Structure 1
Amino acid sequence: MQARKLAYSWHAIYTRSRAEKKLYKELCSRSIECYLPLQKELRQWSDRSKWVEEPLLRSYLFVKVSEREYYDVINSSFAVRYVTFGGKAVSIPEEQIESLRIFLEDENRKVDLSHDNLEKGESVEVVAGPLKGIQGEIIQIRGKNRIVIRFDSLGTCVYTDISLDKIKQVQPVF
């Protein structure tokens, strides 16, 4: 009898307050694939300033699990629950996770987060530059063209500046 191949998919986990890095470290030590989007910020104290890595999405961590690891992840002391819709954990497309990784690879790129319900934009794909291959929406925010990745299940959009000569229109995939 042949063993059934496990299907892995990405899910968002809601973490305890300010415990994203702790949960990430714990899950990595248990060989569970996870992704914690971090962004460097310059923090100012009265006596010094310092660059620190902060989670882009506060209280969220992404995990790629099969049915086998599904409950192991939530049993961590730093995990609260999966992000769900209709009582079932929402699956996040692999392309969105990869696009987010590419957004954050360039430390000099300003990536912004919005919890506002941004207007729907035209579906595009980046065809040149460091963001090549990313698919998202093009919208104007404060007079600048931005490429947006929507995480509807989190009520969040991640966006960054993009030049119109680096994109082409495509049919929506998400």
Structure 2
Amino acid sequence: MKSIQNGWYVLYVKSHHERKVSEGLNNLEIKAFSPTVQVQSTRTDRRKMIHKLLFPSYVFVKINSSMDFHRTLSVSGACMYIRFGMEYAKVSDTEIKNIELLLQSNDLTEVETNTENFKVGDLKTISYGPLSGLECQVLEISNSNKIIVRIDSLKKNIIATIPSGYLAD
């Protein structure tokens, strides 16, 4: 394995321990990011807005030294870093910023993730709104355009519905 480089890494944590691990990392002065989206949950007697994790059991960790890399594993609930072969999954600053931009947008509905690698659809650029300039792949479903933002280092997609007027060639 190569030496640890500064940047964002993906930490796998115990189920339902994402918030606890993020708080523990912040106490160690290590930047952690666990993206959530607000969704409507239907109960038997009511509907309630809840925060749902975009990537369950994953916490993005900003590593500045090899010491930080190893200290993160001492936090209660942290299991291991995600690896693909012998390489640790590293996420670029741009991808983290794209996720943050996606979550800040008020025009998005039905945000979800999946692990499918889509082959169909046109490649477009979002020309309006907080996500302008973002490359995306489009699926057309029931008169609404869905954008798929590929995060290669995680081999996952983020899917969100946006107004069709926001897309350009």
Q: TM-score range with shorter-chain normalisation?
A: 0.7 to 0.9
Note the residue ranges of structure 1 that are not aligned, 5 or more in a row.
Answer: 1-5, 170-174
Q: Match of 2:18?
A: 20
Change (3 A) 1:121 1:84: farther
Aligned ranges for residues 44-83 of structure 1 at < 5 Å? 44-66=42-64, 67-83=66-82
Query: Aligned AA for 1:126?
Result: I
Instruction: Work out whether residues 83 and 153 of structure 1, in 8 Å CA contact, stay in contact via their aligned partners in 2.
Output: no
Instruction: Work out whether residues 89 and 154 of structure 2, in 8 Å CA contact, stay in contact via their aligned partners in 1.
Output: no
Quote the Cα distance in structure 1 between the aligned partners of 2:67 and 2:50.
35
Q: Match of 2:130?
A: 130
Q: Match of 1:9?
A: 7
Q: Match of 1:140?
A: 139
Deviation of 1:89 (Å): 1.1
Quote the Cα distance in structure 2 between the aligned partners of 1:41 and 1:145.
19
Quote the Cα distance in structure 2 between the aligned partners of 1:117 and 1:97.
20
SS at match of 1:12: strand
Quote the Cα distance in structure 2 between the aligned partners of 1:64 and 1:115.
23
Which of 122-131 and 71-80 deviates more? Answer: 122-131
Quote the Cα distance in structure 2 between the aligned partners of 1:122 and 1:68.
44
Instruction: Work out whether residues 137 and 148 of structure 1, in 8 Å CA contact, stay in contact via their aligned partners in 2.
Output: yes
Q: Match of 1:95?
A: 94
Q: What is the TM-score with the length of structure 1 in the denominator? A: 0.79
Instruction: Work out whether residues 112 and 160 of structure 1, in 8 Å CA contact, stay in contact via their aligned partners in 2.
Output: yes
Instruction: Work out whether residues 20 and 61 of structure 1, in 8 Å CA contact, stay in contact via their aligned partners in 2.
Output: yes
Deviation of 1:25 (Å): 1.2
Instruction: Work out whether residues 150 and 157 of structure 2, in 8 Å CA contact, stay in contact via their aligned partners in 1.
Output: yes
Instruction: Work out whether residues 103 and 131 of structure 1, in 8 Å CA contact, stay in contact via their aligned partners in 2.
Output: yes
SS at match of 1:154: coil
Q: Match of 2:161?
A: 161
Deviation of 1:123 (Å): 4.5
Change (3 A) 1:121 1:64: farther
Deviations 1:25-66 (A, max 9, x none): 111122111111101122333444432212111111111112
Quote the Cα distance in structure 1 between the aligned partners of 2:137 and 2:43.
37
Percentage of identical aligned residues:
23
Cα RMSD, aligned residues only: 2.4
Quote the Cα distance in structure 2 between the aligned partners of 1:45 and 1:164.
32
Note the residue ranges of structure 2 that are not aligned, 5 or more in a row.
Answer: none
4+ residue runs of structure 1 moved beyond 6 angstroms?
none
Quote the Cα distance in structure 2 between the aligned partners of 1:50 and 1:108.
20
Change (3 A) 1:163 1:54: closer
Instruction: Work out whether residues 96 and 149 of structure 1, in 8 Å CA contact, stay in contact via their aligned partners in 2.
Output: no
Quote the Cα distance in structure 2 between the aligned partners of 1:28 and 1:109.
29
